[in-house]
Structure 1
Amino acid sequence: MPLYEHVFLARQDVTSQQAEALAEQYKGVIEAHGGSVPKVEPWGLKSIAFRVRKNRKAHYTLMNIDAPPAAISEMERQMAINEDILRFMTVKVEELEEGPSAMLQKRDRDDRGERGFGGDRGFGGGGGRDRGFGGGGGGGGGARRFRDRDGGDVEASADVEQTEE
């Protein structure tokens, strides 16, 4: 039978338990049509890139599925009817991923602790200077230019001695 990865987004108003119950409901649909769901992985409540049906967050859930295409069609049909499901996507894969998915590995990365040194991350010297547009100690940019009274540009440089007249 073909292998699929299926992700669905449930409304932010439903609880985590209700989102897991939805996953179990659709797992039952797959099993009723002769398939199996070896892994159901809830990713939790996450922000979405744009509003979907007035929701800014959604409960994400990943399902690895081994089922005939008819079972996938029936599950997707039922998801399209359900108002608690905002979006879903099913992708056919060559083999199912073992262990935790990339989303859960990303979550585990936050638990690693400190970097081991207190310095910056090595993105250039910066030295804490203001990098924004709010004024501050600008940098580089070449020689400063001033305007004389006639409207022409005059270049000021550190090489030129300035004399009083």
Structure 2
Amino acid sequence: MRTYETIIVLDPDLSDEDNEKVIKKIEGVIESQKGSIVFIDHWGKRKLAYRVKKKFKGDYYRFIYYGSGNIISVLERNLRITEEVYKFLTVKIADEEIEIEPEKIEKLERFEGEDQDVLSPSGFKDIKGDADDMETDEVTGSDDFEEEKED
């Protein structure tokens, strides 16, 4: 059996009961295809990169499960026809990459720590040091350039 990870973005306006119904439906599809769920993680409501169905937020869920055969095609077909699901993405993962326990899941925080590169407002890395300290190659040329004229 292979290990898969599926990230699902649900409608943020759904109630907890409606979210639970969608999650149970997804679990049922996985189990009906002889798959077994390892872990379900609720990431909560997050801002989307772009507007989807006139919404700027989505409710994120992460599923890690084992499966074989056509489990992915059946699951994705069901996700496409479920109105509450905005987006989804499924990837195959290696067994050693699985973290089952929620306390082991580390959430990435932007700009944490001093060892990361700091970007300037223009988006380029800040260069430490003076421009006078930089080595440059001198361009040599001739000042007596003449333009050839056609007669």
* Higher RCO (CA < 8 A, seq sep 6+): 2
% identity of equivalent residues: 30
Letter in 2 for 1:82: T
How large is the Cα RMSD of the aligned pairs?
2.8
Larger radius of gyration: 1
Gaps of 5+ in 2: 115-151
1:97 is matched with 99
2:107 is matched with 106
Which TM-score applies when normalising by structure 1?
0.60
Counterparts of 1:5-154 in structure 2, within 5 Å, are 5-95=5-95, 96-100=98-102, 105-106=106-107
Moved over 4 A (4+): none
Asked if structure 2 preserves the Cα contact closer than 8 Å seen for 1:19 and 1:59, the reply is no
The alignment partner of 1:18 has SS state of: helix
Q: Which moved more, 1:9-18 or 1:82-91?
A: 9-18
| CA 1:71–1:13: 2 relative to 1, 3 Å | same
Asked if structure 2 preserves the Cα contact closer than 8 Å seen for 1:2 and 1:69, the reply is no
Q: Which moved more, 1:63-72 or 1:3-12?
A: 63-72
Which TM-score applies when normalising by structure 2?
0.65
| CA 1:65–1:101: 2 relative to 1, 3 Å | farther
Gaps of 5+ in 1: 110-120, 122-165
